C-alpha cells in the first residue's frame, strides 16, 4: 500500500504551496494520474480520507485527471494505446517501445483561500 506514502507526498506539496501563497486552506486539488503510474485509484481512495484528516487538504475537493497510457514503437514508430507495460506493438509485434504517456503522478493545480 504505497498509496499512503503517495498521499503523504501530496499533502506535503499542498502544505508547501499554501505557505508560499500565504493562504489558509486548500479548496480544490487537481491530480494527474496515469494508468501505468503504479497507483491504484481504489487504494488511493482508501488511503486518502484518514491521511488528509487534520491537514490542509481535509476539506479540499479532489479532482483526478486519469491519463490513458500510450507508447511509440521503437521498431516501426507506430503510436498506440497500451493497457499493460508488456503490451506489444499492434502493427509489427515488437515489445520495444517508449511509453510516452501514462506514467504521470502529478499535482496539477491547487485552489487556495
Partner 1 sequence: MCGTCGCGTDNISIRKPGEITELQHFVQITDHVHDHHHGHDHHHHESVHIDLEKNVLDKNQLEAERNRGYFEAKKILALNLVSSPGSGKTSILERTLKDLKDEINFYVIEGDQQTMNDANRIDALRIPVVQVNTGQGCHLESDMIYRAVKELNPVENSVLMIENVGNLVCPAMFDLGEDKRVVIVSITEGEDKPIKYPDMFHTSDICLINKIDLLPYLNFDLEKLKDYALRVNPNLKFFEVSATTGQGMDRWYDWLREEIGKKQNL
CB closer to partner 1 out of 32 and 79 = 32
Considering the rule CB under 8 A, would residue 51 count as an interface residue with partner 1?
Answer: yes
Considering the rule CB under 8 A, would residue 56 count as an interface residue with partner 1?
Answer: yes
Considering the rule CB under 8 A, would residue 2 count as an interface residue with partner 1?
Answer: yes
- Contact yes or no for 98/72 (Cβ under 8 A): yes
Nearest to 38 by CA among 98, 106, 105: 105
Q: What is the smallest separation between the CB atom of 78 and partner 1, expressed in angstroms? A: 16
The four Cα atoms 77, 79, 84, 88 give a dihedral, to 10 degrees, of: -40
- Contact yes or no for 89/80 (Cβ under 8 A): yes
- Determine the Cα–Cα distance for residues 61 and 91; give it in Å rounded to an integer: 42
Q: What is the smallest separation between the CB atom of 46 and partner 1, expressed in angstroms? A: 11
For partner 1, the binding residues (CB under 8 A) are: 1-2, 4-6, 8-13, 15, 17-19, 21-25, 27, 32, 36, 38, 47, 50-51, 54-56, 84-86, 88, 95-96, 105-113
Amino acid at each position: 500500500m504505497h498509496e499512503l506514502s503517495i498521499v503523504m507526498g501530496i499533502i506535503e506539496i499542498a502544505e508547501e504551496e499554501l505557505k508560499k501563497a500565504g493562504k489558509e486552506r486548500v479548496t480544490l486539488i487537481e491530480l494527474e494520474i496515469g494508468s501505468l503510474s503504479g497507483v491504484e485509484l481504489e487504494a488511493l481512495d482508501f488511503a486518502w480520507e484518514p491521511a488528509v484528516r487534520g491537514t490542509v487538504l481535509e476539506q479540499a475537493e479532489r479532482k483526478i485527471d486519469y491519463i490513458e497510457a500510450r507508447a511509440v514503437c521503437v521498431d516501426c514508430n507506430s503510436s498506440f494505446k497500451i493497457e499493460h507495460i508488456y503490451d506489444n506493438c499492434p502493427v509489427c509485434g515488437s515489445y520495444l517501445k517508449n511509453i510516452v504517456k501514462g506514467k504521470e503522478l502529478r499535482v496539477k493545480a491547487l485552489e487556495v483561500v
